[in-house]
Amino acid sequence: MSVWLVLASGFASAALDCDSISGGYRCTDIVGLENQDIVIQAEDIVGTGSVVFGEQEYCILSYTTPSLSSNSNTWNRLVFDVQMGGNNSNGEFVLQNGGSTLPVNFQWRGGAPVSGGSVWESPGPNNLTSDQQGALSCNDDPYSQAWLRFEVSSDDLQSANPGTYTGSFNVDIGQDSAGYHGDVNFTVRLPRLIKISGLDDMVLTERNASNNRYRQEEPFCVFVTGGGDYRIRASGGPGQSDPFLLTQAGDAIQYRVRLSSNGNNNITVNPGDWVNANNGSSGVCQHSCRPNSSRFLKLIS
């Protein structure tokens, strides 16, 4: 027999699930576990190997009682473990955006393991956490404390197409052969992000003997979320259409700006005009670009 009760605690009220066992009842509940919704910012995905994560603390109750009306002094903590399930692909948890997927890793930590200290664990579909001692109420720290963290690799975010990625997962509490099911949804909103890297100051020192012009070339990189197309424009000053001029007191020299995707095939850039470009880098550029994603800026006077 399963009985649902209303529990008042330091967290929001929740439904307590009690199952009949020999000599009384086995009760459990998950309190305060909320859906997660994060928006990725440009600084979240700069650099390779980093991880974007969201983390929350919540409460797990697990105890036995001789009767549903007994005093809490007669309750006893009941050992439990945790397992997670939900959206996955090839054994890996994923968030989905139509036909696109974004891998996500879950970490869980309990406040009072049966043995050892409180550590982060990975409660995947095929593995359980270490046994926890159980708790009588959400004020029964550290026994009631639990933390859930989800992690997304910045490398995966860089190569993912922009959009909203969602997933539904369950956090299950195991008490011997019985279990308690809790659901949680995760959403990652990935906007279209753009970053220019590697564009340094330029000095015109190279003279072309055939036309007596000075020129300089500077490679740089444009990152676009998912490696998509983009537009680029330039001006010679703070204004959107300021002319390209080298100046000193009382004098100015015009120069031209050209853009190339491969060191050749130059496109002349006019101040303030947009130029279409294809295939931005799918990785944030630090000192060099991903293959086939370099751009070259050429100045000619």
Neighbours of 198 (CB within 10 A): 16
**All domains of the chain in start order, with CATH:** 2-190 (2.60.40.10), 194-300 (no CATH)
Residue 277 burial (C-beta neighbours within 10 Å; 0-12, 13-18, 19+): middle
CA distance 272 to 222: 18
Question: Alpha helix (H) ranges present in 247-295?
Answer: none
How far are the Cα atoms of 127, 216, 267 from residue 255, in angstroms, in the given order? Answer: 65, 11, 14
Give the type of residue at 111: G
Q: Report the predicted TM-score, pTM, of the whole model to 2 decimal places.
A: 0.71
Residue range 224-282, pLDDT digits in tens: 777 777 788 888 888 888 998 888 888 888 888 888 776 667 788 889 888 887 655 55
**Cβ pair 271, 241 in contact under 8 A:** yes
Q: Which residues contact 196 (CB under 8 A, 6 or more apart)?
A: 220, 221, 222, 223
The gap from C-alpha 9 to its chain's centroid, in whole angstroms, comes to 32
- Provide the pLDDT for residue 13: 35
Instruction: Please check the confidence at residue 14 and state whether its pLDDT lies above 90.
Output: no
Three-class SS state of 74: helix
CA distance 146 to 31: 10
- Provide the pLDDT for residue 74: 94
Give the type of residue at 273: D
Neighbours of 138 (CB within 10 A): 22
CA distance 276 to 262: 15
* Confidence band for 40, pLDDT divided at 50, 70 and 90: confident
Residue range 212-223, pLDDT digits in tens: 788 887 777 777
Instruction: Please check the confidence at residue 121 and state whether its pLDDT lies above 70.
Output: yes
Nearest residue to 275 (alpha-carbon basis) of 290, 294, 260? 260
- Provide the pLDDT for residue 138: 93
DSSP string computed for 129-171: PPPB---SSTTSTTTTEEEEEEEEEHHHHHHSPSEEEEEEEEE
Instruction: Give the bridge partners for 164, in sequence order.
Output: 189
Tokens 């009842």 identify what position? 25
- Provide the pLDDT for residue 298: 55
Three-class SS state of 44: helix
- Provide the pLDDT for residue 254: 87
Nearest residue to 163 (alpha-carbon basis) of 92, 102, 103? 102
Tokens 């050429």 identify what position? 298
CA distance 167 to 94: 7
Residue range 139-192, pLDDT digits in tens: 999 999 999 998 998 888 888 888 999 999 988 888 876 677 778 899 998 888
* Confidence band for 47, pLDDT divided at 50, 70 and 90: low
Which tokens go with 111? 């406040």
- Provide the pLDDT for residue 262: 62
Instruction: Please check the confidence at residue 4 and state whether its pLDDT lies above 60.
Output: no
